[in-house]
Structure 1
């Protein structure tokens, strides 16, 4: 009679061990520094003190450990923060801003991760999120590799202290045409299937070089990551 109990305990430990290994990695390939703001949804624990600065040009790289249980939150790249975010930032503390939405360890033993890049609140920094070391399922890279500030409609531009465009307020069709693998309205979804099982890492790259169709796999998207 003890054997089923032992097997159940071992299964629970195996699931917990897999979940505990999941990390969030942020890499900054932009030509300028960013200060990532990792915000848990209400009721979930913080995983970052939000004080780290990621230098540009690929030098800025940091990883955080997700809790071993269900967690949901968002990541925004702040820019123009001066000496530190406590001294104020030009973008990222409020809209318009690119928002990466993350869910990990959902559906119990299935250990499902869900993720998206939302431009509902506008755009400030190109961001692509992609799972690494996945356990199965459909895990497309999603997000926007284009600099939408450059062609932002004149009435939607946000200017920084140096006079350049540092963020773009919209419109939804402007964002969607250039970055179809993002969410641009509250009811929008990406045109690719997603059900990602047990990724060992969720990686967010700011200012990634490009996104391309996965060769020979219609309907799936993979990422060309400059640092891999």
Structure 2
């Protein structure tokens, strides 16, 4: 084996060392004018993280420091959460229907803005991450790589899709305001929108006027099934990640003007 081949075999291990042995960090910041309840869900063989669901009030940050270096999983934020008359924890958007803040292993009820991670995928030493609106949108967020990784770019869905959501896709809160926006596949469940059956290839399932609504607001996200080229981000080295809810709302914090009211 020549020196170049030996070096190529070492690359995945060097990338993991760049991150730090044993763990990465997921940090969360809430810049929304309302409380968000983040949720993490492990989708690989690793066990759940130390915090799977928690409250994050406006202006507060929180970090999970025990993320395995080969972790794959999902992150999303729940909104409009309360304790109901029976004592169960319930949310207006992205609820997991477990009745608990931790979600007890359950996934989200869409529509919800979904973050997807595959860290050190298949031993490659590369981190893959994206924001997926394939099932809809409930709040804006961004993913910012931090630490020693190289070639790591921020991806963001900072626009308020709720403000332009067509009525046939809209989910409304108790006061009539739009609190989430379904994808057209979720709302209408038709093959031409879900890219199934005869529409199951990239050639036969192009973007639709509905998916373009999501893409116009958030150009870096998955807006439908075959929206890969501009939506998957790869970090060449090890990194930790900051997930910021409402990343553009540092100054403008009027929830009524922005369409985020859960009262």
SS at match of 1:111: coil
Unaligned runs of 5+ in 1: 1-7, 211-228
TM-superposed deviation, 1:87: 1.8
| Aligned residue pairs, count | 196
TM-score (normalizing by structure 2) = 0.67
Which of 182, 186, 189 is the matching residue for 1:169? 182
Residue in 1 that maps onto 2:73: 73
Q: Establish whether residue 100 from structure 1 lines up as the match of residue 115 from structure 2.
A: yes
Residue in 2 that maps onto 1:155: 168
Deviating above 2 A after TM superposition, structure 1's stretches of 4 or more consecutive aligned residues are 14-17, 48-51, 65-69, 83-86, 105-108, 190-195, 197-200
Which of 22, 40, 46 is the matching residue for 1:38? 40
Matched residues in 2 for 1:71 and 1:121: separation? 23
Contact 1:19 1:111 in 2 (8 A): no
Which of 125, 134, 158 is the matching residue for 2:139? 125
Matched residues in 2 for 1:192 and 1:152: separation? 21
Which of 220, 229, 248 is the matching residue for 1:209? 248
Matched residues in 1 for 2:82 and 2:229: separation? 35
TM-superposed deviation, 1:154: 1.6
Matched residues in 1 for 2:61 and 2:164: separation? 28
Matched residues in 1 for 2:76 and 2:135: separation? 11
Larger proportion of strand: 1
Larger proportion of helix: 2
Residue in 2 that maps onto 1:24: 26
Matched residues in 2 for 1:166 and 1:50: separation? 23
SS at match of 1:182: coil
Matched residues in 2 for 1:201 and 1:173: separation? 31
Residue in 1 that maps onto 2:159: 146
RMSD: 2.6
Which structure is richer in relative contact order (CA contacts within 8 A, separation 6 or more)? 2
Cα 1:175–1:17 shift into 2, 3 Å:
closer
SS at match of 1:174: helix
TM-score (normalizing by structure 1) = 0.76
Cα 1:204–1:86 shift into 2, 3 Å:
farther
Residue in 1 that maps onto 2:187: none
TM-superposed deviation, 1:31: 0.4
Cα 1:82–1:199 shift into 2, 3 Å:
same
Post-superposition Cα deviations, 1:63-122, rounded to whole Å, max 9, x if no partner, equal 1124434111011100111149942111012111100001112353x5211100000010
Contact 2:170 2:181 in 1 (8 A): yes
Residue in 2 that maps onto 1:198: 237
Name which of structure 1's ranges 82-91 and 63-72 shifts more when overlaid on structure 2: 82-91
SS at match of 1:150: helix
Residue in 1 that maps onto 2:56: 54
Residue in 2 that maps onto 1:5: none
TM-superposed deviation, 1:20: 2.8
Unaligned runs of 5+ in 2: 1-9, 96-108, 184-209, 250-263
